[in-house]
Amino acid sequence: MTIQANQEAVTIEAFINGQHVESLSQSAKENPTNPAEIVGYFPVTTKEQAVEAIEAAAQAFQTWKKTDIEERVTRMRRAIGKIRAAENEIVHLLSREHGKPLYDAHGEIYVSLMWMEFACNEAASALQAQVTEHEGGKTILAYDPIGVVAAISPWNYPIALSTIKIAPALLAGNTIVLKPSPYAPLAAAKVAEIIASEFPAGVINVIHGDADVGVELTTNPHVTKIAFTGGTETAKRIIRAASDTIKDMTLELGGNDAAIFLESFDVNDERAMRRIVVSNFLTTGQICMIAKRVYVHRSIYEAFVEKYIEAANRWIRIGDPFDPDTTVGPVNNLKQKDYVLGLVEDAKQRGAKVIPLGTILDQKVFDQGYYLQPTLVLGCDVHDPIVVEEQFGPTVPILPFDDEEQVVRLHNESIYGLTSSVWGNEENAISVARQLEAGTTMINTAAVQGLDVRFPFGGFKQSGIGREYGAEGIRTYTEQHVINVPKMLDLPYIPE
Ligand code: NAD
């Protein structure tokens, strides 16, 4: 990546076939998190340049697919070492463009590297062809690379949700064209280029822009797989666009993750109270798997709300991402801020009580950026928009429930099914968890605190198709290829 010498703004270019490429488009856009500051520039890639990137990836695939797993792992491990060495610089850039506090930006690198390391350790066995000798002959099940992967990532975890695709795709022998989100493209592009420096030209390409550029990735016949993380509505457009060329897809989409507190939950457990607050407001609530609606058994509801407010007021300190006291930064962009405000306003109009949470560390900073004071919403109906829609921001409704059957029904009514959490007596919680329609259910913790990259992650229903993480998250970048050597070469029922 080319970084301009001044510290004020960072300019990135597309990276195609091992080269930096200036945009031919005039519509360069700035990417401000804080309206008082332009963080950087990324020239929007033209359609012709997107085609060039895809063709470079297609060309590179012809050679890259023939490399052995040892070479791929060795190159990836070197890239991991370089990312580690550049961590502070990357984190600084990520905090600046995204608005997430420094500790949280470090956390994103931590999760990214944990996954990349796991993928390196696991790739050889996950991709090993399985040879079965049986009475009917011999069968080889091979995991072949798919080809050119289009990786389209969102703004909320731009590095983690890019590397979650880059590492397994490359380890499995594919080549890739990455398009980060225009709302946070700088740090993801930097990390992708660090990785690219360890791979042959054309194996990783990075292009920039929004839907106009993304559409080439979803329609170009050279692209054989789309790995997309983002909103459910965008995914529907992508599925339609890709239908003419029938592409393989992994879709990680929205969620409306519920946290369910059973009667057996101890409201005086301060660590658990802190965990649920963090699971609601980490990254200013902008995580797909954050707990977005909280259901509490009516018998403990009032005490729970009281303790929750105390815990939230202790943990939430809203401020500049570079202030070490800050736990909650601004919302990433104005569109998201307005959307969250709209949901809270709608809840108020419907008669809900909205309680502000936490401390604003510096009112002047707060007034300048896309800040929102986190809120707790009480007294809403189970079908209000703030409960059934994904808010993806710093507000959370807490609702009472009367019995397990009711709360399981409320959970499963959602069009989403990404993650959920159940809190209370472990055995009881697991029994409720087994009834929930969700890709991951965490017990007595939630959100990234309960994430385990060794196991598959993904959603039921409109939260997605396919899985990332785990051995599954590597094999998802392959086609299963069966080579069958039957003993009986001619079938007896086919006439001579
Ligand atoms: P988004 O859908 O608006 O954008 C995601 C990416 O898609 C961006 O790079 C964008 O430029 C691109 N894009 C937009 N329109 C496109 C099109 N027509 N063709 C091709 N590409 C297109 O999502 P966002 O606002 O960046 O992210 C927030 C959403 O992502 C939330 O719904 C959140 O739940 C979801 N998300 C899901 C997961 C998960 O793992 N399930 C993780 C993080 C975020």
Specify the CATH number for 10-253+463-482; select among 3.50.30.30, 3.20.20.410, 3.40.50.1000, 3.40.605.10: 3.40.605.10
- Residue whose CA is closest, atom 14 of ligand 1? 211
CA of 239 to the centre of ligand 1 (A): 13
Residue 405 CA: distances (Å) to CA of 71, 297, 392: 53, 12, 27
Tokens describing residue 430: 């697991």
In the chain, DSSP finds a helix count (H) and a strand count (E) of 16, 25
Q: What is the pLDDT of residues 98-132, one digit of tens each?
A: 999 999 999 999 999 999 999 999 999 999 999 99
Q: Which of 252, 220, 223, 222 is nearest to 235 (CA)?
A: 252
Name all residues whose Cβ lies below 6 A of ligand 1: 152-157, 161, 179, 181-182, 210-211, 214-215, 218, 229-231, 234, 237-238, 252-255, 288, 390, 392, 418, 459, 464
Q: What is the pLDDT of residues 326-385, one digit of tens each?
A: 999 999 999 999 999 999 999 999 999 999 999 999 999 999 889 999 999 999 999 999
CA of 411 to the centre of ligand 1 (A): 23
Question: CA 479, CA 171: separation in Å to the nearest integer?
Answer: 14
Domains of the chain, by residue range, sit at 10-253+463-482, 258-450
| Total-model pTM | 0.95
- Tally the C-alpha atoms within 13 A of residue 192's C-alpha that lie toward its C-beta: 41
- Residue whose CA is closest, atom 18 of ligand 1? 211
Ligand 1 atom nearest the C-alpha of 209 is: 11
Residues assigned a catalytic role: 165, 252, 288, 468
CATH architecture of 258-450: 3-Layer(aba) Sandwich (3.40)
The predicted model gives 22-42 an average pLDDT of: 65
What percent of the chain has a predicted confidence (pLDDT) above 90?
A: 92
By CB atoms closer than 10 A (0-12, 13-18, 19+), residue 135 is exposed
Question: CA 462, CA 482: separation in Å to the nearest integer?
Answer: 31
At residue 31, does pLDDT exceed 80? Answer: no
Ligand 1 atom nearest the C-alpha of 238 is: 19
Q: What is the pLDDT of residues 384-428, one digit of tens each?
A: 999 999 999 999 999 999 999 999 999 999 999 999 999 999 999
- Residue whose CA is closest, atom 43 of ligand 1? 288
